[in-house]
Chains A and B, each alone.
Chain A
Amino acid sequence: MKKLLITCLLSFFMLSFMFAQQTKLRGIVKDSESGNPVSGVVVKIDKNTVVTNESGTFEFNNVPEGKTYLIIDQKGFENYSQLIIVSGESMKVDDIKLKHLAEETDKTGITEVSASSLESDDVNKEQGVSSLLHSSGDIFTSTASYTLGAMYFRSRGYDGENLATYMNGIYVNDAENGRANWSEWGGLNDVTRNKESVNGISASSFSFGSLGGSTNIITRASLQRKQTKLTYSLSNKTYSNRLMLTYSTGLMDNNWAFTVSGSRRWGDNGYVKGVFYDAWAYFVSAEKKINDHHSICLTAFGSPTTRGQQGGSTQEVYDLTGSNYYNPNWGYQNGEVRNAKVKNFHEPMIILSHYWTIDNKTKLTSSLAYSFGYNGATALNWYNAADPRPDYYRNLPSYEYYISNHVADQNVINQTTYAWQNNPNISQINWDNLYQVNYNRNLKGQQSSYILEDRRNDQQQISLNMVLNKELSGDVKFDGGLEIRKYTGHHFKTISDLLGGTFWVDIDNFALRDNGLNAIEIQNDVNNPNRVVKEGDIFGYNYNIYNNSGLLWGQLSVTANKFDYFAALNVSTTSFWREGLMKNGYNINNSFGDSKKYSFYNGGIKAGVTYKINGRNFIAVNSQAMTRPPSVYNSFVSPRTRNTVTANIQDDQVWTADASYILRTTFLKARVTAYQTMFWNQNEISSFYHDDLNTYVNYVMTGIDKVHQGIEIGLEMKATTNISFTGVAAIGSYRYTSNPLATVSYDNHMQPDITETVYSKNFMINGSPQTAGSLGVSYRNSKYWFFNANFNYFGDNYLDFNPERRTVSAMPYASPNDSRIPSILNQIKVDDGFTLDASIGKSWLIKKVYYNVNFSLSNILDNTSLITGGYEQMRFDFDTKNINKFPPKLYYGLGRTFFLNLSIRI
């Protein structure tokens, strides 16, 4: 393998000399109205792209001879293309004047408000939009991210860990679960607009890249558009109001550039009741151009946010309450709406970047970043008290049918149904009662029965990133870099609210019932037994996760007449471990102090070739193979209580390939891509609370293999100068290809660990529709009007399945022909659905001030029956084998919503 790789790399070097030829092409991009140079514009010739500098200048160092198109597809401006005939001599094109477009609705804003991650007690079951904000000139990618992404479509079915996100070169995906957390810079839309994006596994000049693509957000002040901009937005999705102000100087005569931005997003109730929003954001960037070779930029930003979360429920509850947007997380306290599940975070990041132009062929970009802060999510907790969650299954009318040795009483069903429909103390959390209960406890000097706890994951991270871009010769380019990061995630719980009570005792209330008083097992922390805790105190669990990693990568790309090639390689080392800060009573010898350190050495290679049939037709083929360390999240079986890791803690392997045909004319742009990706040897851990056994149950699956294959089609047709049509289709098949082994372990050791095979081969992977499409029309005219509409289709979407139901032990033993077997085994596919979106906008330029209004409506036809995802509950009733006792939890896409955006800019 290694030999082959070296041979490959060498042959690329050889090729580079064969095609050595130096044809430079330069030019300047200007604003057609102001005549000012525009920085940060991406200019393309064939597959090469460059970005204009602060004086609007771009320069290609190597352009193949012959006819070619220079293309600019910049957000906020009309598309620009120009035929260029390259004679083999360096040349300068005339100044390019870009015409402003009416400002389109800020789609990142729309997606952001739709994309409140839906909360679940198990992180793996949460529905989050991970692939969004992946800006790109590619119509498929941008439609998939923004338009389809709002309904949780994910390109190629990839999970967020397969989309790499960088901030000024710093890798910002979470060090434990691998997913980028976009809300850390929410509300900073104006200053996070400059992005370099790589689709899929194409060549990338800033990183080795990830399977689903990479995005590098560039926030350096000198590349921010010079402006003062005030934006106000009104919406009925998650927040009601947004106010943003951005001021950017551009690069000034004294070689300084500054950008500041601030915003607030707020609202008491979103589309879903109880989903309140209160988020501030700030951003400061200062850049000094020391000389032509060195620039230094310091950026700091953060987004202190508090917001109420939505929770999924079962169809029975949605039907009872008459709404698919019922939210079990809130209830009335003193007549006011209070949400029990509140996210609370502020994770500032500071980045110091150095841009070094060593010579006109060599650039070295280095960034050092530090991030810190807090991240919490509240939830109710209770001790020796009834479950306060309104949609707990025993509180529902249907429970009457599932009581063992009991004949359902219609009177009870009717009364429960009536109460659900008429009494918010039944259908929502009854906060007032929780307080009364705690007050009663106070009278006896006893602890709170109910509390609100804050589950924290406070992260600290230091990252160093260096990227070298070097032209080795005219057509050969080397990109390479180094990514180092040191991460600590501090996980613990604190008491957020004693709810009128006076204290809480830090013992494991589930263990108490199993083991009785005085048992050591009931202690959450044997070092501090029976500790009395109050608001703000740490309790329950307390541990650190450390994850340190280093990665080296390099890429050679060659541009030739008919073919472009690239090959890249990376090597990395990762080391993670757990440090317990409490000695758990069940795990005395396995919970306190450092766990073993788990280290992994990994590598990957990728290569691609583009055949340029002519200036308009291209065929591109890419492939990538790599090994990856297991994610921390899927390695520790129950990090809350112990150091135990999965039995199969080892690398997973990935191989992917895609082949595309690309057509690029002024009239029609099209891309058709076929892809296949294989994952081998993955792990997955789910935890859930089992209230019959009074314990958390951890479900560890190892040896998961998957395949993702499909076709992507994107078409963009310019019918007239004003009207264009788009069409996008994704037809995929993402499924499991192995029968993994599952180990079920009980935190209270009430039952011994069970290992059994899960018969999930050919089950479909959940989390995204596997088929989706969008037809769009857009109109824009020279008077700065624009209008667009999209009709979107979503199909082949599946619910996450409960592996326990696909085991031998879940089968009814009566007979192999038992009619219950199919219902236990079959995976649930949700109905296909559609939405219609449209937006309209206009800009005015009055005395050099831009005024912009746009308005968009999502799901205009108010389709409220589109299930975007969900999961089968992890509990299964082994006694009756009736799957309806614990029916699946479902998430519905929002009905008709609007987003109005007003801005002034100079």
Chain B
Amino acid sequence: MKTVKTRIFGLFIILLTIVSFSSCKKDIETPPFDEPHFTVPAGATLKTIAQMKAIVGSSSIVIDSNWYIRGVVVATDESGNYFKDIVIQDSTGGIDIKLEKYSLFNNYPLGQMIYVNMNGMYFSNANGTHSLGYKGGTGIVTLPAIMIDAHIFKDKFPGPVPTPVTLTSITCTDNYINTLVVFDNVSFADAGSVFADPLNLLGGMTPRNFTDTLSTTAIILRSSTYANFKNVLLPSGKGSVRGILTKYNTSWQFCIRDINDVYGFAIDPSLILTASFASSLGGFTPYSVTGAQVWAWTSYGATMSGYAAGTYNANEDWLISPALNLTQHTNIKFKFESAMNYGTAGDGSLKVLYSNDYTGTGSPAAATWTEFPTYILSAGAWAFTPSGDIDMSSIGGTTHTYVAFKYVCTTANVATWELKNISIKGQHI
């Protein structure tokens, strides 16, 4: 009997060994990053974008020849400002290509060289601007998803995006249509308004005028309410705007690709308060309720910790702003950056409060302070974290409103906090 049992066990072990080796679910290999390569096939013709625009002229045609164009992707749908289209340009010009797919930037990122087999595609001219897509019942539509891989080919890894041409005046030629350009030293007529407003749409986009460098002609900046920067305020002052130049009949229009295309504006719009804490506490007042340690300036910004000389000390310390006049603005946004270490995320060791009845001096305990309902603090590891926009429009602000950072620690839990880049902005009434 014993021998049979031993044999059964033996058999089991043998079988198990076999199965363990034979049929382990192998990890599937990670695919390599393949550099795409494309050359125009024999018998086909590579055209420049300018040649194509000249051939098509003011008409719209379905291409029935073996013609290709190529270009580098200069605008994508990544921020949501473009939707189902990308813009490519070669040395002669640029063109918008309409493709029936979301998130095209994933496959055709900025700087990607692509070849387009135009045979069967629709090269249209609508309102003075050419675009490439598919012939639908009523005009140009996006190239159906299923056809994209038969018409669009990638060549090489994405490279740098062509340097934008700096334009000083919009009195330029149509060659710049659908190419990447930049205007320096421009200003927005609607500074302080959001980029895209669902109540202010023209052709699906919000028009915002800016004036070109020579202050001759207004250019319409068009932004989508699907863009991730839709709620950002248009800056005031003067700066640069980079993006794709377009034209609707005789009117010049402009699309930025993402918010980084608007830069260099010297003065933020309608600044109520700014304190970078780059070199001082910039008008903020420290006030110590308990403990010897106080808010102080360091090279990291305004800094506070209950830790000193190897000892943990219980502290309550306030850092109070100068008086703010909030009666002249609407849409007031307060923001700052914080960094923390040695504490626990969400432990309440730092709170951000406001008061409408603080006298400006003395103990904050004499006034009523209310914590802002929502703001983001650093979770630790010295990571400077933006607070997000804290709304101050609805707090009933007066001519003497104060904001304060309140630090608390016990002898057991002692966090260190650093603050910088405080700003309060609003739209002038």
A interface list, Cβ under 8 A from B: 228-230, 232, 241, 243, 245, 247, 264, 266-268, 276, 278, 306, 333-334, 336, 338, 384-387, 394-395, 400, 406-407, 409, 412, 415-416, 419, 426, 431-433, 435-437, 439-441, 443-444, 449, 500, 512-513, 515-520, 523, 526-531, 583, 588-589, 592, 847-849, 904, 906
- Tell yes or no: B214 within 8 A of A by CB: no
Chain B residues in 8 Å Cβ range of A232: 15
The minimal Cβ–Cβ distance linking A330 to chain B, given in whole angstroms, is 11
- Tell yes or no: B204 within 8 A of A by CB: no
Q: How far is the CA of A527 from the CA of B343 in the complex (A)?
A: 13
Chain A residues in 8 Å Cβ range of B158: 440, 443
- Tell yes or no: B385 within 8 A of A by CB: yes
* A334-B29, A336-B28 as given contacts; A523 in contact with B146, CB under 8 Å: no
* A523-B376, A528-B345 as given contacts; A230 in contact with B11, CB under 8 Å: yes
- Tell yes or no: B144 within 8 A of A by CB: yes
- Tell yes or no: B201 within 8 A of A by CB: no
Chain B residues in 8 Å Cβ range of A848: 1
Q: How far is the CA of A387 from the CA of B5 in the complex (A)?
A: 56
What is the size category of the interface that chain B forms with chain A? 35 or more
**Contact at B5–A529, with CB atoms within 8 Å?**
no
| A442 to B, closest residue via Cβ | B33
**Contact at B29–A849, with CB atoms within 8 Å?**
no
| A530 to B, closest residue via Cβ | B385
* A406-B136, A407-B137, A500-B31 as given contacts; A241 in contact with B23, CB under 8 Å: yes
List 22 contacting pairs A-B, 8 Å CB cutoff, sorted by A.
A228-B9, A230-B8, A243-B12, A266-B23, A276-B25, A278-B24, A386-B101, A409-B136, A412-B146, A432-B31, A435-B31, A436-B34, A441-B109, A513-B80, A517-B229, A518-B231, A519-B231, A519-B388, A529-B376, A531-B379, A589-B373, A906-B5
**Contact at B19–A264, with CB atoms within 8 Å?**
yes
Chain B residues in 8 Å Cβ range of A583: 346
Chain B residues in 8 Å Cβ range of A435: 30-31, 33
Q: How far is the CA of A419 from the CA of B385 in the complex (A)?
A: 48
The minimal Cβ–Cβ distance linking A72 to chain B, given in whole angstroms, is 28
**Contact at B23–A449, with CB atoms within 8 Å?**
no
**Contact at A527–B346, with CB atoms within 8 Å?**
yes
Given contacts A278-B25, A385-B102, 14 further A-B contacts (CB under 8 A): A243-B16, A264-B19, A266-B23, A306-B25, A338-B28, A386-B101, A407-B137, A412-B146, A500-B33, A516-B227, A517-B228, A518-B386, A529-B385, A529-B388
**Contact at B157–A443, with CB atoms within 8 Å?**
yes
- Tell yes or no: B366 within 8 A of A by CB: no
Q: Interface centre among B5, B102, B376, B389, by most A CB within 10 Å?
A: B376
- Tell yes or no: B268 within 8 A of A by CB: no
* A228-B5, A440-B109, A517-B232 as given contacts; A588 in contact with B373, CB under 8 Å: yes
Q: How far is the CA of A306 from the CA of B26 in the complex (A)?
A: 13
* Contacting residue for B388 out of A243, A520, A589, CB 8 A: A520
The minimal Cβ–Cβ distance linking B25 to chain A, given in whole angstroms, is 5
Q: How far is the CA of A486 from the CA of B389 in the complex (A)?
A: 43
The minimal Cβ–Cβ distance linking A786 to chain B, given in whole angstroms, is 24
| A444 to B, closest residue via Cβ | B109
Listed from nearest, the 6 A-B pairs whose CB atoms lie closest are A516-B231, A527-B346, A439-B33, A529-B376, A437-B106, A528-B379
Chain A residues in 8 Å Cβ range of B346: 527, 583, 592
Q: Interface centre among A276, A530, A848, by most B CB within 10 Å?
A: A530
- Tell yes or no: B363 within 8 A of A by CB: no
Chain A residues in 8 Å Cβ range of B1: 848, 906
Chain B residues in 8 Å Cβ range of A267: 23
Chain B residues in 8 Å Cβ range of A441: 106, 109
Chain B residues in 8 Å Cβ range of A527: 345-346, 377, 379
The minimal Cβ–Cβ distance linking A837 to chain B, given in whole angstroms, is 28
**Contact at A241–B106, with CB atoms within 8 Å?**
no
* Contacting residue for B33 out of A228, A264, A433, A436, CB 8 A: A436
**Contact at B379–A245, with CB atoms within 8 Å?**
no
| A588 to B, closest residue via Cβ | B374
Interface of A is mostly: mixed
Chain B residues in 8 Å Cβ range of A847: 4
Q: How far is the CA of A513 from the CA of B141 in the complex (A)?
A: 24
Interface of B is mostly: loop
Q: How far is the CA of A22 from the CA of B28 in the complex (A)?
A: 70
The minimal Cβ–Cβ distance linking B177 to chain A, given in whole angstroms, is 27
* A338-B28, A848-B1 as given contacts; A384 in contact with B103, CB under 8 Å: yes
| B231 to A, closest residue via Cβ | A516
**Contact at A526–B376, with CB atoms within 8 Å?**
yes
- Tell yes or no: B147 within 8 A of A by CB: yes
**Contact at A518–B103, with CB atoms within 8 Å?**
no
Chain B residues in 8 Å Cβ range of A516: 227-232
Chain B residues in 8 Å Cβ range of A432: 31
**1/0 contact trace for B93-108 toward A, CB 8 Å?**
0000000011100110
Q: How far is the CA of A600 from the CA of B230 in the complex (A)?
A: 48
Q: How far is the CA of A583 from the CA of B379 in the complex (A)?
A: 12
The minimal Cβ–Cβ distance linking A821 to chain B, given in whole angstroms, is 30
* Contacting residue for B16 out of A264, A333, A519, CB 8 A: A264
| B137 to A, closest residue via Cβ | A407
- Tell yes or no: B145 within 8 A of A by CB: yes
**Contact at B109–A443, with CB atoms within 8 Å?**
yes
Q: How far is the CA of A333 from the CA of B102 in the complex (A)?
A: 23
**Contact at A266–B31, with CB atoms within 8 Å?**
no
Q: How far is the CA of A849 from the CA of B16 in the complex (A)?
A: 22
Chain A residues in 8 Å Cβ range of B50: none
The minimal Cβ–Cβ distance linking A336 to chain B, given in whole angstroms, is 5
- Tell yes or no: B296 within 8 A of A by CB: no
Q: Interface centre among B15, B106, B144, B231, by most A CB within 10 Å?
A: B106
**1/0 contact trace for B218-238 toward A, CB 8 Å?**
000000001111111000000
**Contact at A515–B231, with CB atoms within 8 Å?**
yes
Chain B residues in 8 Å Cβ range of A264: 16, 19
| B196 to A, closest residue via Cβ | A516
- Tell yes or no: B152 within 8 A of A by CB: no
Chain A residues in 8 Å Cβ range of B259: 517
* A336-B28, A906-B4 as given contacts; A406 in contact with B102, CB under 8 Å: no
* Contacting residue for A449 out of B4, B80, B106, B230, CB 8 A: B106
Chain A residues in 8 Å Cβ range of B29: 333-334, 336
The minimal Cβ–Cβ distance linking A93 to chain B, given in whole angstroms, is 31
The minimal Cβ–Cβ distance linking A630 to chain B, given in whole angstroms, is 31
The minimal Cβ–Cβ distance linking A851 to chain B, given in whole angstroms, is 11
**Contact at B19–A241, with CB atoms within 8 Å?**
yes
Chain B residues in 8 Å Cβ range of A526: 374, 376
**Contact at A409–B379, with CB atoms within 8 Å?**
no
Q: How far is the CA of A409 from the CA of B144 in the complex (A)?
A: 10
- Tell yes or no: B78 within 8 A of A by CB: yes
Q: How far is the CA of A890 from the CA of B347 in the complex (A)?
A: 50
Q: Interface centre among B9, B147, B386, B388, by most A CB within 10 Å?
A: B388
**Contact at B228–A513, with CB atoms within 8 Å?**
yes
Chain B residues in 8 Å Cβ range of A338: 28
B 76-100 contacts with A by CB, 8 A: 78, 80
The minimal Cβ–Cβ distance linking B22 to chain A, given in whole angstroms, is 9
Chain A residues in 8 Å Cβ range of B230: 516
The minimal Cβ–Cβ distance linking A254 to chain B, given in whole angstroms, is 18
| B225 to A, closest residue via Cβ | A516
* Contacting residue for A386 out of B31, B106, B147, CB 8 A: B106
Q: Interface centre among A229, A247, A527, by most B CB within 10 Å?
A: A527
| B226 to A, closest residue via Cβ | A513
| B380 to A, closest residue via Cβ | A528
Q: How far is the CA of A353 from the CA of B188 in the complex (A)?
A: 79
The minimal Cβ–Cβ distance linking B75 to chain A, given in whole angstroms, is 15
B 1-55 contacts with A by CB, 8 A: 1, 4-5, 8-9, 11-12, 15-16, 19, 23-25, 28-31, 33-34
Chain A residues in 8 Å Cβ range of B16: 243, 264
Chain A residues in 8 Å Cβ range of B19: 241, 243, 264, 266
The minimal Cβ–Cβ distance linking A906 to chain B, given in whole angstroms, is 5
**Contact at A245–B12, with CB atoms within 8 Å?**
yes
The minimal Cβ–Cβ distance linking A316 to chain B, given in whole angstroms, is 15
